[in-house]
Amino acid sequence: MKAQRSLKGRALQWLAQREQSRSELRRKLLPHAMAEDAAEAAAATDAKEDNPRTAHEPEPTPAARVEAVLDWLEAHDYLSQTRFAESRVHARASRFGNLRIRQELKQHQVVLSAEAAQALKDSELQRARAVLERKFAEPPSTSAERARQARFLAGRGFSHEVIARALRRDGAEQHATFDG
């Protein structure tokens, strides 16, 4: 039979694979902590039948043990909310808009730094145009096609202002060349 890994061992393995948020690790570790408690309770029940009752202090709850592991990971810089946010932004920025990225970070209870938020805001139009060009070879020629492309960008989490500017990708540049 395989030896069970400790909560710390499981967390370190997951962190070695990719950056994780504190809430994500808590969600993943809690079932394992509860299973450990159930196994210990079953073993204690068997041991009680053999030994007389002894007084001892209560064991920490599974949630408290998980929090202690998470605190240890943060104290030793294995777990970092800043690194997680940077990693998630880096992985998502080429495909998604600011609204989607912020919503995903909010689900993980992570706040984006002011510098990272400004960098995302500054690059959103270029990212929207790149996403649009990868998906659609031609700019919209009809209002139905324009609406389709706008819905696509909206689904990717780009703001309405950025969508409108991105859809004018060829039109704005053409007008600028005729004026000069």
What's the pTM value of the predicted model, to 2 decimals? 0.76
The answer to whether the CB of 93 falls within 8 A of the CB of 99 is no
pLDDT digits (tens, 9 = 90+) for 82-93: 999 999 999 999
**pLDDT for the residue 175:** 41
| pLDDT exceeds cutoff 70 at 73 | yes
Closest alpha carbon to 139 in 126, 124, 125, 149:
149
Rounded to the nearest 5 degrees, what angle is found at the Cα of 19, between the Cα atoms of 17 and 25? 95
Mean pLDDT computed over 126-140: 92
Structural domains in the chain, CATH included, are 1-36+63-79 (1.10.10)
pLDDT digits (tens, 9 = 90+) for 149-168: 999 999 999 999 999 999 98
The answer to whether the CB of 83 falls within 8 A of the CB of 107 is no
Closest alpha carbon to 13 in 59, 78, 58:
78
| pLDDT exceeds cutoff 70 at 50 | no
Mean pLDDT computed over 30-36: 92
| pLDDT exceeds cutoff 50 at 180 | no
